[in-house]
């Protein structure tokens, strides 16, 4: 049945979005780049996040694009290997122009993470999960 899943996100400017995500440490499969899209690869399993110019994205989805200043359609969560990696990524996000909506902090006694909005307002959650502390 299904062999792979990927996420498609609308962006105002593909080049700016690509530069932002590159600065915070994501990689790209430039083989799939076009002037209106780019293929971001996330994690060890190479999860694909396609970034499409808004006009192209709305053509695919045949629906209006969510106003990320006033609402969220999705929260994208990614894991980190340590608390230090969480803190480092939070710093990179701010330096690259992203917005932290939740500062790095402990949560529920076994997680440490932060939340950020990318240049287009999509919300991301970065977590280090210490399962040895999970009761």
Cα torsion through 19, 60, 41, 39, rounded to 10:
-50
Kind and range of the H or E element at 53? strand 47-53
* Mean pLDDT per 10-residue section of the chain, whose length is 135 residues: 88 97 96 94 93 96 93 94 97 98 96 98 96 85
| Residue with the two structure tokens 């690509």 | 18
Domains of the chain: 1-66 (3.10.180.10), 73-135 (3.10.180.10)
Q: pTM for this structure?
A: 0.91
What pLDDT sits at residue 135?
Answer: 72
What pLDDT sits at residue 40?
Answer: 97
CA–CA gap between residue 45 and residue 3 (Å, rounded):
13
Q: What is the DSSP string of 67-126?
A: -TTT--S-EEEEE-SSHHHHHHHHHHHHHTT-EEEEEEEEETTTEEEEEEE-TT--EEEE
């Amino acid at each position: 049945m299904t062999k792979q899943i990927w996420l498609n996100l609308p962006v105002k400017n593909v080049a700016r979005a690509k530069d932002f995500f590159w600065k915070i440490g994501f990689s790209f499969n430039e083989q799939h780049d076009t002037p209106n899209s780019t293929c971001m690869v996330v994690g060890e399993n190479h999860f694909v996040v396609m970034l499409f110019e808004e006009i192209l994205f709305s053509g695919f989805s045949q629906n209006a694009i969510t106003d990320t200043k006033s609402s969220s359609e999705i929260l994208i969560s990614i894991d980190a290997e340590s608390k230090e990696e969480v803190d480092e990524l939070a710093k990179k996000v701010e330096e690259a122009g992203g917005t932290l909506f939740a500062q790095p902090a402990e949560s529920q006694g076994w997680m440490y993470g932060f939340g950020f909005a990318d240049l287009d307002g999509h919300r991301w959650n970065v977590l280090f999960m210490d399962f040895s502390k999970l009761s």
